[in-house]
Structure 1
Amino acid sequence: MPGGSSRGRSRQPCLQRRAAIVLLAASMSPLTVAIAGDNLPEAANVSTGWDMSNFLLRGNGVLPVPIFITEPAIGYGLGVALLHFSLPDNADENQPASAGDKTSRPNITGIAGFATGTHSWGAAALHTHSWDDDRIRYTGVIGKINLHLTYYGFQQQARSYQLDGFAMFHELLFRIGDSRWYVGPRYTFFDSHTRFDFGVPTDHGNFVAEQRVAKGGLVTSYDSRDNNFYPSSGTYAQFVAEFARGGLGSTSDFEVQSAKAFHWMPIGERWVLGLRVDSGFSQGDIPFFAQPFVILRGVPAAKYQDRNQLTTEAELRWNATPDWSVLGFAGVGRAYGNLHSFSDAPVAYGFGAGFRYLLVRKIGLTMGIDVARGPGQNAFYIQIGSPWR
């Protein structure tokens, strides 16, 4: 869940698919995308800290999640999310939290909203569900956003603009046999209105203020993580091909492909190394705000944005106790294809450190803070689980 920096708004939240879950991406997107754990962290069976597992998973509890926004894109602000957790019908409510045991994915229903000092705001409702022993997974989000953002363009000159509209996201995945592979359809819709405060940038071409982004696509993913919120081992990979067409409700035709992979490996008893690669590619008449961009802690997203993007990042974690861990991270990325060639594109970088506390032991849900340094600025992020999603 991204936080922010000492600078004002300069970072556009995750749009395209993320436009449908933008306020959750700014605050707690591991809950909407990573959703629940497969296995418990190894330390869970010996932890003695404060834990909300029984209340949330067995007592029909609702978890209020405060949203502290220090996001450079939309300024400082506050919000709240109300989340209801429930176990699937075939889940064992008395399942012990022993190391290596497979836990059930909780179903999550929630509402959330936020507002910031730049007059940005958003509200959304979400639901995630799994059926047939996690063979079928569904994620759905609907929401409304009004964001004051910054566009940089060819010369990296900040130009403020406003983006508002209604967003919707649906994804249904099916497991392939007894494997760790999932495949299924995705649909994203964003009815947007865009307005630049001081005129349209000269590198914008044919600017259209009113646009509907409606994409259908196919998602293929592989998941061997021991826990989806805060993994200590395993791999998550996802490949997405999306097509925006008039028949789906889009005002322009374009294509977007993305591929990402995260891998975690234990080093000794207390250390975990995480590696990340992330890429995005686009073709056709794509709106400027829907283009791929570099996402790194310490780097204003959408500051490095173009037709394509490539990013890599590493993270090293030390589990100081069963409940507490500290980590360091560093990454680089480039956006290229239209404004810049790959060799001429500026390099985005970010590095820093953080900590996590194991908040909900039975599903491995952690919360903490990351502090990062990027090109010309510092940033801090209030994180729920891993920032990689």
Structure 2
Amino acid sequence: MHRPTRPGVAIAWPRALCCALAVVSSTAAAAEGYASRFIDPQDGQFDTSDMLLHHKGVLPVPDIITEPAIGYGLGLGLLYFTAPKKSASETNEHAEPEPDSDAPKKMSPPNITGVGAFATGTHSWGVGLLHFHTWDDDRIRYLGVLGKVNLHLNYYGPQGNANAYQLSGIALVQQLLFRVGNSPWYVGPRYTYFDSTTRFGPVIPEGINHFERDVRIGKGGIVVDYDTRDNMFYPRNGTYAEFEADFARGGFGSDSAFQMQSAKGYRWFDLAPKWVLGLRADTGFSQGDIPFFAQPYVDLRGVSQAKFQDRNQLTGEVELRYYVTPRWSVLGFGGAGKAYGGIHSFSDAPTAFGFGTGFRYLVARKLGVTMGIDIAHGPGQNAFYIQVGSAWR
């Protein structure tokens, strides 16, 4: 016997089923739409360009710190990118590779805001804020940095013995560069300030003259940049060079008077569709009553920061990169340097060296941002670095 169904129930069940299917469908579509933000339609690979440029996302940069100077620890940075207004639709959106080449076209630098912090097992820690901005189609470049650090380091005197000390303080950097005509040259001022406190044990190590516990450094200087890189993060071709002359004086807020000059140059050669060669030269010179911790030092992967430090420094490095795919690349590197002029003459100064290998993944194609890892070996030690782009800054 057929039992009649109540009209309300007969109508409610199909409606409920349709609603449920609609919710599931819309949820799946939303999830698919969200996931699509991380897929590059050009090659179907994981990519964060769309999320970073159009959905106000941030790029997290975790760091496992193995820097010999401050010990083992963890760090985290958050980078927020925006495209310059004038080039957002002209350059970054259309920075597609050439049909027969893996190399991207020249990209305008994005605006970057970053915050970060780290801490290590030696009770060293630091926090910082960074902003990089361009205007007028990359004719004006601004860089600002504000940070606070508390570092437990070693000072290496004439005998190379490690003397533990603590360096803490607040640092500020302000820089504004202007392009010269339509050339790749930029010129402008830079101001650096560091209000520091330094603590040693009961004995001041040999090699340090006029030690002061509390020191303020205020430097004003001129910066000249030359930039033909096809990408500021991980170039395949082009040159980046920077020349800087700084003067620390009382008028800039400095407790001591000294001068510093530095020059660095990086050159990348696109040797073949899959091979890139990079060359680096880095020099620094100082004169006057400069605090010991502010002197130039050799900066190499695998070498403890500031272990090789003196009045002057000279460093060279080479890097060879191979593209396994357009997104994945592996690299090998090696370099050497010397710090000299105060504690040692150039011929007597010990040679610092570092070499290793690493890899990168193109995590944001439209920005040219890569992330990866470098593993390096130096004098009696190994180090591990999480890198955003090139290790050369």
Same fold (TM over 0.5): yes
- Counting only pairs closer than 5 Å after superposition, residues 245-256 of structure 1 correspond to structure 2 as 245-256=249-260
Pair 1:155 & 2:159 matched: yes
Q: What is the number of equivalent residue pairs in this alignment?
A: 346
Q: 2:174 aligns with which of 170, 173, 179?
A: 170
Q: In the alignment, what sits opposite 1:90?
A: 86
SS, match of residue 362 in structure 1: coil
Pair 1:240 & 2:238 matched: no
SS, match of residue 149 in structure 1: strand
* 1:41-92 Cα shifts (integer Å, max 9, x gaps): xxx9964420000110112212222232121111111222222211122233
Deviates more, 1:75-84 or 1:269-278: 75-84
Distance 1:46 1:374 in 2: 41
Q: Once the 2 structures are TM-superposed, how far is the Cα of residue 96 of structure 1 from its aligned partner? A: 2.6
Q: In the alignment, what sits opposite 1:299?
A: 303
Distance 2:311 2:352 in 1: 16
- Counting only pairs closer than 5 Å after superposition, residues 17-36 of structure 1 correspond to structure 2 as none
Distance 1:321 1:48 in 2: 13
Q: 1:129 aligns with which of 129, 133, 137?
A: 133
SS, match of residue 164 in structure 1: strand
Pair 1:141 & 2:139 matched: no
* 1:74-113 Cα shifts (integer Å, max 9, x gaps): 1111222222211122233482331254433221122211
Distance 2:73 2:207 in 1: 32
Distance 1:243 1:201 in 2: 27
Q: Once the 2 structures are TM-superposed, how far is the Cα of residue 247 of structure 1 from its aligned partner? A: 0.6
Aligned CA RMSD, in angstroms, stands at 1.5
Distance 2:185 2:237 in 1: 17
Q: In the alignment, what sits opposite 2:74?
A: 78
Q: In the alignment, what sits opposite 1:324?
A: 328
Pair 1:382 & 2:378 matched: no
- Counting only pairs closer than 5 Å after superposition, residues 43-62 of structure 1 correspond to structure 2 as 47-62=43-58
Distance 2:220 2:183 in 1: 25
Following TM superposition, the consecutive aligned residue runs of length 4 or more in structure 1 with deviations greater than 6 angstroms are none
Amino acid in structure 2 at the alignment position of 1:361: R
Q: In the alignment, what sits opposite 2:273?
A: 269
Q: In the alignment, what sits opposite 1:360?
A: 364
Does the CA-based 8 Å contact 1:162-1:197 persist in structure 2?
A: no
Does the CA-based 8 Å contact 1:45-1:97 persist in structure 2?
A: no
Q: Once the 2 structures are TM-superposed, how far is the Cα of residue 289 of structure 1 from its aligned partner? A: 0.4
Q: 1:287 aligns with which of 288, 291, 307?
A: 291
The higher relative CO (CA closer than 8 Å, separation ≥ 6) is in 1
SS, match of residue 84 in structure 1: strand
Q: In the alignment, what sits opposite 1:25?
A: none
Pair 1:371 & 2:367 matched: no
Distance 1:345 1:116 in 2: 30
* 1:242-277 Cα shifts (integer Å, max 9, x gaps): 000001000000000000100000112101110000
Does the CA-based 8 Å contact 1:170-1:188 persist in structure 2?
A: yes
* 1:94-142 Cα shifts (integer Å, max 9, x gaps): 8233125443322112221111111111111121111000000001011
Q: In the alignment, what sits opposite 1:67?
A: 63
Amino acid in structure 1 at the alignment position of 2:134: S
* 1:144-166 Cα shifts (integer Å, max 9, x gaps): 11011111111110011000011
TM-score normalised to the size of structure 2?
0.85
Deviates more, 1:88-97 or 1:119-128: 88-97
Q: Once the 2 structures are TM-superposed, how far is the Cα of residue 371 of structure 1 from its aligned partner? A: 1.3
Deviates more, 1:285-294 or 1:368-377: 368-377
Amino acid in structure 2 at the alignment position of 1:367: M
Amino acid in structure 2 at the alignment position of 1:274: G
Q: 2:186 aligns with which of 175, 179, 182?
A: 182
TM-score normalised to the size of structure 1?
0.86
- Structure 1 unmatched runs, 5+: 1-43
Distance 2:87 2:222 in 1: 29
Structure showing greater radius of gyration is 2
Does the CA-based 8 Å contact 2:109-2:232 persist in structure 1?
A: no
* 1:189-240 Cα shifts (integer Å, max 9, x gaps): 0000000135210221221110001100000010011111111111111000
Amino acid in structure 2 at the alignment position of 1:85: F
Does the CA-based 8 Å contact 2:65-2:384 persist in structure 1?
A: no
SS, match of residue 202 in structure 1: coil
Does the CA-based 8 Å contact 2:322-2:331 persist in structure 1?
A: yes
Does the CA-based 8 Å contact 1:159-1:198 persist in structure 2?
A: no
* 1:321-344 Cα shifts (integer Å, max 9, x gaps): 111111111111111001011111
Question: Percent of counterpart pairs with the same letter?
Answer: 63
Amino acid in structure 2 at the alignment position of 1:75: G
Q: In the alignment, what sits opposite 1:223?
A: 227
Distance 1:157 1:85 in 2: 44
Amino acid in structure 2 at the alignment position of 1:65: V
Does the CA-based 8 Å contact 2:376-2:384 persist in structure 1?
A: yes
Does the CA-based 8 Å contact 1:47-1:322 persist in structure 2?
A: no
SS, match of residue 324 in structure 2: coil
Amino acid in structure 2 at the alignment position of 1:355: F
Distance 1:278 1:48 in 2: 40
Does the CA-based 8 Å contact 1:130-1:137 persist in structure 2?
A: yes
